[in-house]
Structures are given as structure tokens and as C-alpha cells.
Chains A and B, each alone.
With several copies, the nearest count.
Chain A
Amino acid sequence: MRFTELAIDDPTGLIFGTAPKPVTSGRGLTVGGGQVYPELNFTLPTMEVNARTYPEIKEIYRKTVDDVLTRAAALHVEGIVVEFETLLEMTLKPAYGIELTEILVEACERFSARYGMKAEVRLTPNDTRDYERPPRMRNSPYLENMLRLFDEGAKAGATFLSIESTGGKELHDEALVNCDIQGVVYALGVLGVRDMRFLWDQITKIANDRGVIAGGDTACGFANTAMVLAEKQYIPRVFSAVDRAASIPRSLVAYERGARGPDKDCGYEGVFLKAIAGVPISMEGKTAACAHASPVGNVSMAACDLWSNESVQAVHLLGGPAPVVSLEQLAYDVRLLNESIRTRQSLLLRDMLVGSDVSHDPQALILAPDSVIRIARAVVAAGDHLAATFAAVGTALEIIEEAVQDRRLRMDPREEVWVTMVREQLAEIPLNEDAFVEMMQGRIDSGKVLLEEYGL
């Protein structure tokens, strides 16, 4: 564990707009330096991506980014990040991803020059290694093109590099639907951590070579899958909450390996990373309802430095293109945050945002600044990533149990038995990686998980 102390050790210091280690782009956009900015992501309407449709796709990107930045200028938005999260085909064929990056960068440059706006592109190639079962994390035939897109995209002018990497997901999916906390800890705290090290050494090298900024990685395929399953009432909310906690050490690895932030929007574990590593973070909540429902619509805003819509398809709504609608909503959200900073009332606003959500759901509760600092403290106090994952889950469970006891948290009675079950299963995990690997050996289906691809 590189981080053994907290960058923010008092809940009061964990607040939107300010990070201990702000990041400044080439055009002068400072994230975490006292202001919040919107981060806007859009994707294609329902359509195939291939050589035949590609000319139309380029037009959609070109027009949409122009529409979005035009509206941003009209609303006097001073800084913005446009996230380009690629679709499979755009990473398989990096030429697509690179050219689309160029289109977005050109628009950002043009609007920055014309309106004095600071607009930057975040490039997020998807983790194509996951498009093969079982995935070969280190020897994937897809790895080369994925890294090429990072490299050439950075060359094309992308300012921030991010990914939602998937190491361990092949095991985690099954652990989730079985509410198997041992599987979760193994997938995130052993496999995920190992793969993050492997991958982020390469991404930070590319960023450094190209002079751009390594943004960070989210456990989207893990803890957000859990959140979606919990919203559908497929798994208990408490399980999703501890799954989020379990993702912290895994996502922290990017910063141990040289990433600087801003952490990507869909990682709600970003608040913990901000407390631990001091990096600025992008967050998403109610204004990302266009992409998914969530139980953390307001509390997720409490410590954001960028505020994002996650992703919206470029379809038409009554008010215009859906990405422009998202931009407008984000811009007003951000205006409110910045006005509270200007009038020195930001802590009050933060506490309202937090207070409005925490009693409704354990997933919201663990994102409250008090909880974040307490869990983060347990993480940095642990000796290694496995112990840290274990400690994060255990501390999250404690926080939830206390709140239920004090009647500060509404919890479905059906959930209670799961708190006990998770606690019991957790207690069986040996805090030694070798021993844990040994223990899990019999439960791993070698047709689904290739341990050697994690150096095991």
C-alpha cells in the first residue's frame, strides 16, 4: 500500500470543488482547484458500428459536440470535460476511436478559442480484454489495439485518460448474484488489484510519454453492476454497499501507479480515493439518471470536482438533443455548487446534499463524508490490499449496522439477515493472499477464470 495516511482526514475537508492535489490541463482547466465543472458524456443512438455506418457516426459526434458546446457557451459555462467512452468497435479498430477523438478535440479547441471556455476531452477506451471468455488479461489479443488507442488518442489531443478495467469481473459477476462476499473480496482485492497494477503501469507510461494526464479507473463493471442489481431488487442493498467498499483498494491502485485524476464519474468509490490520495474526482448522481437509476442522487455530489451525466444517447427529446439536455442540467447543478462556494456556504450545501439521501439507503450512507473518512482510514491502516479490502467491507458493515440500530437508516427487514450472513462469510477470509488463494482454489472454475493471467 503506497498510501498509509489520508490526504483528507477530517470529514469537513471532503467537499466539492476542492481536492488536496488539483490537476491542471494544458488549456488551464484546473480540476479540484476551487470550482466545479460539468463533465458531459454522450453516445450513439441505437445503431450498428461498422464501415457502412461510420460516416454517419462521425457526423453525429461532430454535430452533437457542437450543439453541446454551443449551449455551454450560452449558459456561460467556463470549463467543461467532454468524455469519449468508446464502443467496442472503436477500440477494436483504433482508427475509429482516434478519428472521433480528433473530432471532439477540434471542437473543444475551437470553442475554447472563441468563447474563452476551457473545454477538454477525456478518452475512455473500453476494456476489450473482457470480450473473450475466459478473458486473457495479460495475453489478450485485444490488448495491443486498446493500448494503441490510449497512445494515439493522447497524441490526438485527449487531455485525460481513463478506463473501466475489468480484471476479476469474470469471477465477480457470479459472486454478486450469489451474494458471495468471499468471491467479491477475491475478485476485487486479489484479482482486481493485480490486474490494475499490470494495466496502470502501462497507461501512466503512455500518459507521461505523451504529456497528458492519467485520470483513473472505476469499478463500474463491479460495484455499479451491484447497484443496478440492487435497484432491481435482485440482490440486497447492503450487499451492493459493501461491494462498493470492497472496490476501494482495487481502484486506488491507479493512483499508486501514477495516475493523477480526475477519477472517472461512474466510480462512486471516487470519494474514498479523494480522501486517501487527495486526487480530484468526477462524480455522477441524479443528473445521470438518463444512464441509470441510483440511490445516491444527491450524496454523490457532496465531494465532486467534476459533475457528470455518465452517458446519454444522442436521441431527440422535446427540448432538443438529449446530450444538450444533460449539459443544461449539469450546468445548473454546477452553478448552484459554485454559488455556494462563492458565498462561503458550501459546507452547508454539502450537508444538505448528504442529509437528503443517507437515511434512505445503505449505499448512500457509506458515501457520507463521515463514513468515507472512517472507511478510508481503515483502508490506509491495513497492511496490504487484501487486508484493506477486508477492512473496507467490515467497516462499511459496522457503519450500516450502527445506523440501523440508531434508526438513522431505513432498511427493508428482508435485508437484515444478509448483514449477518456477510459478516459470517467475511470472518472466514484469511488475511494472507497465499492462504486466501489456496482457500478459493477449489471454487474457481478454470474454464471461466485464468489465474495465470493474474500472475497466480
Chain B
Amino acid sequence: MSLLTEISEMLQRGKAAEVKSLVQNALDEGTDPRVILEEGLLHGMGVIGEKFKNNEVYVPEVLIAARAMNAGSEILKPHLAGAGVEASGTVILGTVKGDLHDIGKNLVRMMMEGKGLEVIDLGVDVPPEKFLEAALERNADIIACSALLTTTMTEMKNVIETVAGEGHRDRFRIMVGGAPVTESFCKSVGADLYAPDASSAADAAVALCREKRAG
């Protein structure tokens, strides 16, 4: 088995310590850090993500793999920065104001990171201005809002209006999600994209970033 395959496999099994040392080995052998990232870490998370989407693994298995990925990334990061590699996109993520639910949001973060996106997680109960502020500061591609309550999902509209009010609507793509959110709600508030679950949110975010950076 090649070192990269081994990294991917160990990551899928959630073996953080092993992933760490294997990444170090690969670096020592002179493997391009970008290749380690793509064909090792992201490959492993891709497999797990796919399995999760197909209901073959549970969240705890994804979480443990994500922790292994983070362990590997820690080792890799300084080398990637040196190689001038940047994330394929930056996402500002948070649960909207008045809403303190974070299980779904955390899952989305994990899935997005597993796709190689940089995710700035603002946590829960995030006011509209904070979404915008962070997006400007990090020069983000996407603002992703989560809500679990029918009374707070209307806050998503406020986020969009705040971004638009400051004249930045064209600069960011805005995604919405959470149990009560629907495609038609997404349209009605003028968001760009609704994702029904964490996996498709990650897939959609990658596509949005690619499209945005291309166009």
C-alpha cells in the first residue's frame, strides 16, 4: 500500500496518531504537501463523506475521521503555506441570531472542511452584522446560515438584507439550511442556495466557490 493510500485508510478509521506520523513520513520522503493533502487527507474524508451520504456510517465515525484529518492537517499546514497553497474556498458559517442549535451546523462545518474548504465557524446566536464583518475580513466566498426554529429562520432574511444594505450582495454567495428551511423559503428570502443536508451543503459549497472563482 502506498503511503498516501495508508493515510487515507487510517483517516477513515479515525486513527489520529497514525495519520499524524504517516503524514510526517510522507513529508520526510519529500512528497509534495499538496499531493499529501489531496490524495491522502481529502481522499480519506471524501470516502467517509460519501459513505455518510449513503447511510453507511454514522456521525461519530465521521467525527473521529475528521479529528484524524485535523491531526494530519496540523502537521501539513506550515508546509502548505510555504508552497503557496490556499483553500479552494472560504465559508463563513453560523447559526442565526436567537437560535442556539449547533448539531447540524457543526456537521456542515465538518463536511465542508472534509472537502478542503476553509470554514470560519462563528458559532450560534450570530447577529447579521457579524456574518458580514467576518465575510469581509476573511474575503470569504460564501456566507452559510443555519436555523432550527421557525421563529429564527426569518433571521436569514435579515442577514441577506444586511449584506445587501451595505452593497456587498454580489460579493458573497449566501447559503441557507436547517430543519424548517425549504427550497421555496430560500427563494423567498433571496438566498442563493438551499441545501437539505450536511453532505449536499458541502458539495454545493465547493461548486459555488468554483463557479464564483471562475466567473
Contacts and interface: CB of A to CB of B under 8 A. Distances in A.
Q: Are A and B in direct contact (Cβ within 8 Å)?
A: yes
Interface of A: 43-49, 87-89, 130-131, 133, 173, 176-180, 225, 229, 232-236, 313, 316, 318, 414, 418
A180 B98 CA distance: 28
A233 B55 contact: yes
B124 A133 contact: yes
A445 B72 CA distance: 23
A27 B105 CA distance: 42
A239 B107 CA distance: 18
B151 A177 contact: no
Nearest to A179: B60
Contacts of B59: 177, 179, 229, 234-235
Contacts of B63: 177-178
17 contacts: A45-B150, A45-B184, A87-B151, A89-B151, A130-B100, A131-B100, A173-B102, A177-B59, A177-B60, A179-B59, A233-B55, A234-B58, A235-B58, A236-B58, A316-B185, A414-B56, A418-B58
A48 B156 CA distance: 11
B200 interface: no
A189 B90 CA distance: 41
Contacts of A131: 98, 100, 125
Contacts of A233: 55, 58
Contacts of B150: 43-47, 313, 318
Nearest to B152: A88
Closest 10 CB pairs of A and B: A179-B60, A234-B59, A46-B150, A233-B55, A48-B154, A177-B59, A316-B182, A178-B60, A87-B151, A235-B58
A88 B151 contact: yes
B124 to A, nearest CB: 6
B32 to A, nearest CB: 34
Interface string B56-70: 101110010000000
A205 B154 CA distance: 37
A410 to B, nearest CB: 16
B180 A47 contact: no
Contact of A229 (B103, B149, B154): B103
A204 B68 CA distance: 48
A46 B60 contact: no
B184 to A, nearest CB: 8
A63 to B, nearest CB: 8
Interface in B9-61: 55-56, 58-60
Interface in B139-185: 149-151, 153-154, 180, 182, 184-185
Given A179-B60, A313-B150, A414-B56, 18 more contacts: A44-B151, A45-B184, A46-B180, A47-B154, A48-B154, A87-B151, A88-B98, A88-B149, A130-B100, A131-B98, A131-B125, A133-B125, A177-B59, A177-B63, A179-B59, A235-B58, A235-B60, A414-B58
A233 B61 CA distance: 12
Interface in B76-128: 98, 100, 102-103, 106-107, 123-125
B78 to A, nearest CB: 27
B180 A316 contact: yes
A49 B155 CA distance: 11
Contacts of A229: 59, 103
A343 B210 CA distance: 59
B100 A46 contact: no
Nearest to A313: B150
Nearest to B153: A46
Contacts of A87: 149, 151
Contacts of A179: 58-60
A418 B106 CA distance: 22
Contacts of B58: 179, 233-236, 414, 418
A320 B182 CA distance: 10
B103 A225 contact: yes
B103 A177 contact: yes
Greatest chain B CB density within 10 A among A43, A87, A177 is at A177
A89 B124 CA distance: 17
A230 to B, nearest CB: 9
Given A179-B60, A235-B58, A47 B151 contact: yes
B154 A46 contact: yes
A177 B106 contact: yes
Nearest to B110: A177
B93 to A, nearest CB: 16
A233 B198 CA distance: 13
A386 B71 CA distance: 35
Contacts of A48: 151, 154
Greatest chain A CB density within 10 A among B58, B124, B197 is at B58
Contacts of B153: 46
Contacts of A176: 103
Contacts of B60: 177-180, 235
A179 B62 CA distance: 12
Contacts of A234: 58-59, 107
Contacts of B154: 46-48
B55 to A, nearest CB: 5
A304 to B, nearest CB: 26
Contacts of A180: 60
A293 to B, nearest CB: 11
Contacts of A316: 180, 182, 185
A229 B197 CA distance: 12
Contact of B100 (A133, A235, A236, A414): A133
Contacts of B98: 88, 131
A48 B107 CA distance: 27
A134 B197 CA distance: 27
A225 B103 CA distance: 10
Contacts of B197: 232
A173 B100 contact: no
Nearest to A135: B100
Contacts of A43: 150
